[in-house]
Amino acid sequence: MFRKNNEDPSYNAVQSILSDSLGITKRFHKSGIAAIVFPIIVVDGNLFQSRLTDAGELTVEEADELTLLWKCPAVGQQHTIINIVNFKHLAELVRRCNELADALFAINPEQRASILGRSGNEIKSDHPSLDF
C-alpha cells in the first residue's frame, strides 16, 4: 500500500524493526552477552496473505500471524526472519519466542529472570498492555 507521498508504510515498518534489532544486537555484542533478537511487527488490525494455488489462481486468506523472510545484508546475514502478528495473538508469539530462547540457551525461566534482572517471566515494555 502506497500513500500519496509515495511512502510505503509496510516497507518502512520492516526497515525500522530491522534497524532497531541491529541496534539491540550491537549493544549486547559490545557487552559480551549473547542475545537472540526476534523482530516482530505488531498489527492492530486484520492480516491477510495471498498465494497462488496449484491451478495458478490467486487466493487471499486472513491470518493471525505471518512470517516474512527478508533479504537484509545490513544485519550481516543473507536473510532475516520477521514475525508479523495481530495484536490479539502477540502474547502467544512471545510465549513461543521465550520457549525457543530458553531451549537455545538451555536455561529455565528463573535463570533467565536472574540474568535479565526481572522476576518470573515478566516482560516489560513501554506500552502497559504489552507487559506479560
Q: What's residue 12's pLDDT?
A: 87
Task: Please give the grid coordinates belonging to residue 127.
Answer: 506500552
**For residue range 84-95, what is the model confidence (pLDDT) as tens digits?**
999 999 999 888
Weakest-pLDDT range from 24-33, 42-51, 68-77: 68-77
State yes or no: pLDDT of 131 exceeds 50.
no
Q: What's residue 130's pLDDT?
A: 42
The three-class DSSP label of residue 15 is helix
Could you tell me if 80 and 67 are in contact, meaning their C-beta atoms sit under 8 angstroms apart?
no
Instruction: Compute the distance between CA of residue 110 and CA of residue 122 in angstroms, rounded to an integer.
Output: 10
Weakest-pLDDT range from 32-36, 69-73, 113-117: 113-117
